[in-house]
Structure 1
Amino acid sequence: MTSHDTRRPQARRTDADEIAGLLPAPAEWDVPRERYLHHKELLMRQIDRDQALDRARPTPGPRPSRLLRPAVMVPVTALAIGAVALTVVTATGDSDHSATAGPSRHATTSDTTRPAAALLGRISQAALKNDATAVRDDQFTYRRAKIREADLTSAKAVVGPLRDMERWESQKQGPLLKLGMDRVDGETSSINAELGDTHGTPAGLGRPTYRWLAALPTDPDKLLSYLDAQTPKTAKVPGQGHNQFVFEQIGSLISEAMPPRTAAALYQAAARIPGVEPAPQAQDAIGRRGVGIARDDAASGTRTEWVFDKDGLALLGTRSYLIKDTSYGKKGTLLSSTAELEHAVVDKAGQEPAGNASHASMPSRQDS
């Protein structure tokens, strides 16, 4: 954080300055290491193909200028499971005008008549009713889910099988090189620090610990302003609209263990993002239908949905798919989906939660 200028004692601090002073620095990298390397490899292959075509093209006479290739976009969904590879979609423009995005574009606090705002208000109230279970710094949050995603190795979106995923995330506050452990279809792997964090990843957007989430503002407008400020205006996900990036930043947090007031504020903040709408036909990775909240990103041609149980309004899962034909697949092609099955707090990585384990901010969900 920049120190105050002692020569200007009358300078006023903005809300963003005050919020930033209360919170640890956000993680430098928003895209998990495995996902970043996957898409970097795809980009390098495309560059190699372009260079090969340039060398093969005849050169007599003036050489015509070649149009720049469209940027590629990595959709950031609500998965929050860093080892899961998502998809890349060719960008066709940014209807959100990401270069000039800012909090002034958000809906006002009085805009509660929109259907999405009304539904998110109900979901927020339901979140407040969850038992507040604090998580100690020496513990691990546990998450069990079903996951499915598309692979682009063949330059086409090939939807993989449904997989079982368990994740243990360390709650230690210092920058960590080992963030926890994943178990996918029985195979165990460590969760390493984010790419570029040579001294470890601190708590923040890239590693949202319970303590960090508890320190976020619970006023929805201040919370949205903070998340907006921490989201790059020129997205690290090329071609994705800024509003969509903020929406998916919130989506990456709502499956985490957090105090009920923080969860409620996140849902209320999402209601203030333009373009958010109800999704009546939403379903999770195992086909459970519920009430949904969604947002379309015209820039990338993708739709991201959050699915909630119709009765208790607990999070069931997420889904992302194409809403128009692209080089990677036809309209309707699934990009990723999850089904939340169980959340708990345990004392060490690899430990299975007991039958009556404490659950933080979200009730346990069993397969159905």
Structure 2
Amino acid sequence: MTGTDNGREAYAAERAELARLLPPAPGTDLPPGRHEHHRERLMNLIDDDTARARGRTGADAQDRARGRPDRSRLLRPSFLAPATALAVAGALVLGYSAQNGGPAGTSGTGETRSVSQVLLRISDAAGKGEALPVRDDQFLYTRGTGREVDLTSGKAVVGPLEESESWYSQKPGPQKKLGLSRVNGETLPINAELGDSEGTRPGLFRPTYRWLSTLPTDPQELLDYLSEITPKFEGEDRDQALFEAIGGLIGGPVLPPGTAAALYKAAALIPGVTEAPDAVDALGREGVGIAREDARSSERTEWVFDPDGLSFLGWRSYLTKDTEYGKKGDLLGDSAVIETAVVDKAGARPRS
């Protein structure tokens, strides 16, 4: 065995150990796959640093050497040209303006107006929800089901449908223990985000009810703020990053009505957002769909809403074209929300 082989084996062992030490995904309450997303992002950064130290060109070189696809393209890779993004954004604004009594859009904006109208209906329904008195010593509870996809082999391998529960602490300030998750009967702690040595503060990846209540309720101001706090990764599509950031928030157990209403209106301002007429969640429940596709990765993510009350049901992600890691239509993950509540203790279920 050569010294190079020894080095590769040592590197692989170190990477596997780091992956093992990362906190497990707590369930399906942060679509689409936010915790697994952050784990993979971290491993990408580790690969980047190692590749630079070896004089290579980054994680892509290591992936090719191992016969794996460029993982950065499996996450959030599509990129709209600035002129196209501005054009689509303008169309969305025109559609939203028309729904609210503004000037009618020009030709080609009919679908955009429809998307804006649907999101406005969802926003109105969310805004009429009950503002719950969530205390700092309580926990936000979610029970749901979903499937994850393993990409380590270079192909998308869909896991089984698993039911899970999660309890997220509402304590203010940085916390090292964020709550509990329970999957297949095994209960594990949800630890602070990696790198938060003093604990994770309330924010985008720890959205407490109190923090959510402080977000701007003006849609454009909210979108601007989310753009500022959403992590930036080289080569990613910022519009898709914002769509996923909003998806992670609306998939939480409880949202202040004003914040929920603003999030859906903000989503209407993101270029490339469309309707998804045949949207279904992990339980096969059909509903009103809102979607966005990453053109470069050919990955489409759909949010699914109850057709009657327009409450959030879940999400689904799949391929829209044949790729090196799957075929058109292949599932890349999904979820379904079964129950949400506010409880007094981690591990306690809501009273029936």
TM-score relative to the length of structure 1:
0.72
- CA deviation digits over 1:191-212, x for unaligned, max 9? 1111111111100001000000
Aligned partner (choices 12, 34, 52) of residue 39 of structure 2: 34
CA contact (8 A) 1:319 1:338 kept: yes
CA contact (8 A) 1:134 1:259 kept: no
Q: Which residue of 2 aligns with 1:203?
A: 202
Q: Which residue of 2 aligns with 1:214?
A: 213
RMSD between aligned residues: 2.9
For residues 295 and 33 of structure 1, the distance between their equivalents in structure 2, rounded to whole angstroms, comes to 20
Aligned partner (choices 97, 115, 130) of residue 110 of structure 1: 97
CA contact (8 A) 1:240 1:297 kept: no
- Structure 2 portions without partners, runs of 5+: 1-33, 51-58, 100-111
CA contact (8 A) 2:64 2:70 kept: no
CA contact (8 A) 1:33 1:195 kept: no
More helix by share: 2
Q: Which residue of 2 aligns with 1:363?
A: none
Residue 350 of structure 2 is aligned to residue 353 of structure 1 = yes
For residues 66 and 281 of structure 2, the distance between their equivalents in structure 1, rounded to whole angstroms, comes to 43
Aligned-partner SS, 1:263? helix
Q: Which residue of 2 aligns with 1:23?
A: none
For residues 169 and 32 of structure 1, the distance between their equivalents in structure 2, rounded to whole angstroms, comes to 19
Residue 231 of structure 2 is aligned to residue 244 of structure 1 = no
Aligned-partner SS, 2:148? strand
Aligned-partner SS, 1:182? strand
Q: Which residue of 2 aligns with 1:75?
A: 75
For residues 63 and 139 of structure 2, the distance between their equivalents in structure 1, rounded to whole angstroms, comes to 45
CA contact (8 A) 2:204 2:230 kept: no
Q: Which residue of 2 aligns with 1:151?
A: 150
For residues 52 and 138 of structure 1, the distance between their equivalents in structure 2, rounded to whole angstroms, comes to 47
Offset at residue 36 of structure 1 (A): 3.7
For residues 289 and 70 of structure 2, the distance between their equivalents in structure 1, rounded to whole angstroms, comes to 31
- CA deviation digits over 1:202-223, x for unaligned, max 9? 0000100000000001111111
Offset at residue 184 of structure 1 (A): 1.1
- CA deviation digits over 1:275-317, x for unaligned, max 9? 1111110000010001100011112211010001111111110
TM-score relative to the length of structure 2:
0.75
Q: Which residue of 1 aligns with 2:313?
A: 316
Aligned partner (choices 281, 284, 298) of residue 281 of structure 2: 284
Q: Which residue of 2 aligns with 1:262?
A: 259
The percent of aligned pairs where both chains have the same amino acid is 53
CA contact (8 A) 2:141 2:341 kept: yes
1:31–1:201: structure 2 CA closer, same or farther, 3 Å change rule? farther
Offset at residue 34 of structure 1 (A): 3.5
Matched letter for residue 267 of structure 1: Y
Residue 94 of structure 2 is aligned to residue 95 of structure 1 = no
Matched letter for residue 179 of structure 1: L
For residues 66 and 330 of structure 2, the distance between their equivalents in structure 1, rounded to whole angstroms, comes to 31
- Structure 1 portions without partners, runs of 5+: 1-28, 54-68, 77-90, 356-368
